[in-house]
Amino acid sequence: MNWKDESVIVFGGSGFLGKYIVERLIGLNCKNIISYSRRGDDELAAKGVDVFTGDIRNREGVMEAVRNCSVVIHTAAKAGIWGPRKLYYDVNVKGTQNVLDACRKHDVRTLVYTSSPSATYSPLEDVENADEYLEYPKKYLAFYPETKARAEREVLSYDWSDLSAVILRPHLIWGPRDPHLLPQIIARAKAGKLKIIGHGDNFVDLTYVVNAAEAHIKGAEFARKSGRNFRKAYFISDDSPVNLWGWVNNMLTELNIDPVSAKIPFKTAYNAGKMMEMIYKFMPWSYQPPMTRFVAGQLAFSHFFNIKAAKKDFGYDPVVDLETAFVNTVEWLQSQELCGGK
C-alpha cells in the first residue's frame, strides 16, 4: 500500500489518538489527509491537513466528508464512565453506522475502527492473556463498553460485501498529550483522593499512543491487502503487562507526588459505586460519581491480552518500548501546569 496515493479521513482526528494517527500519515507523505472532529485544529491545518469541524452524529456531514476518500480510520467516540445512554448510543453506535453508510455510498473499501477491550469482558473478574475468542459479556456495567460492543457488531455484520474492516482494541492508551487517564490520576493523587482498590496486585495492559497509532497504520494496510468482506477484531497493547498500582506509584514518584498506599476492599468500593450510581442518576449528567461498579472492577482486577493475532496477521509490534514510553511521558507531564510545569 503506497500512502502517497491514498486519501484518508480520520474521524476524531484532533483527539488524543486521532492526532497521532494524522501525524503518522503526514510522515508517510499521504496524498490527502482529512481530520473530522467536533473541534478544529489549527496546528494540523498548518501542516496541510484538511480539517473538518463536525459531529459524527450528523449523517449529512459524515457523508460529505468521506467523499473522494480511499481509507477511513474511525477513532471518534463518546468515552468515559458516566452520562446518558442515548448520548453514548447516538455517538458510538449511530455514528459508526453513519461512517459505514458513507463508506458504502462512496465506495471506500478500507476501514479501521477503534474499539476497546472493555467491550469484550466483565470488569468484575480477572482477564489474563485473553485472545480474540473472548466472547462478549451478557451484561455491562457502563454505557461505553456496551455501545462499543454494539458498534463492533455493526462493523462485523455490515451488509456490504466489498468492505474490508479491521477493528482494533487498544487497552488504556497513554502518553504525551493524554487529556484523560494520566491527568485524572494525578489530580486525584494530589488531592489525596486516589486509593488502591483491592489487593493492589492486579496486572493490566497499557498501549502507548505512538504504538496505538502505528497499529492503525498497519491495520489499514492489512485491511486493504485482505480484500473484500474481510472483518476481524484484534487486541493491541504494549505487549508488557504492568502491575497497575506499581506503575501508577512509579509515575507519581517521578513527578514528586506522594505514592498511593491506602487501600479499599473491592467489595466496599463496588457497593459504594452502586450506591453512587443510584444517587447520581438523578443529578445533571455532567456530574460524574467518584466511584462506579465499572471503575471498581477496572481498578481491582487484572486485564491483559494476547496480541499474537495482530503480530501474525499484520506484523504489529510496539515501536516504542515501555521504558522509553515512560520517560517520554514523565518529561511531558513535568512540563504541564498540572504537575507544576509551565
| Catalytically annotated residue among 20, 36, 113, 144 | 144
Helix (H, G, I), strand (E, B) or coil at 224: helix
Contact 15, 37 (CB under 8 A): yes
> Residue 272 is which amino acid?
A
What is the spatial distance between Cα 305 and Cα 309, in angstroms, rounded to a whole number?
A: 11
DSSP letter string over 111-139?
Answer: EEEE--GGGSS-TTS-EEEE-TTPPPPS-
- Tell me the torsion sign for CA atoms 180, 116, 60, 42: positive
Residue 191, classified by CB atoms within 10 Å of its CB into exposed (0-12), middle (13-18) or buried (19+), is exposed
Contact 77, 17 (CB under 8 A): no
Helix (H, G, I), strand (E, B) or coil at 302: coil
144 given a catalytic annotation: yes
Torsion of CA 59, 60, 63, 68, to 10 degrees: -160
Find all residues with CB under 8 Å of 258, minimum gap 6, and list them. Answer: 189, 252
Half-sphere exposure of 213 (CA within 13 A, CB side): 24
Instruction: Supply the angle between the helices 16-27 and 209-226 in degrees, to the nearest 10.
Output: 60
Of the candidates 334, 342, 170, 308, the residue with the CA atom closest to the CA atom of residue 254: 334
Provide the H-helix boundaries in the chain.
Answer: 16-27, 42-46, 59-66, 85-88, 95-105, 143-157, 181-190, 209-226, 244-254, 266-280, 293-300, 308-314, 322-334
Contact 174, 205 (CB under 8 A): no
> Active-site residues: which are they?
144
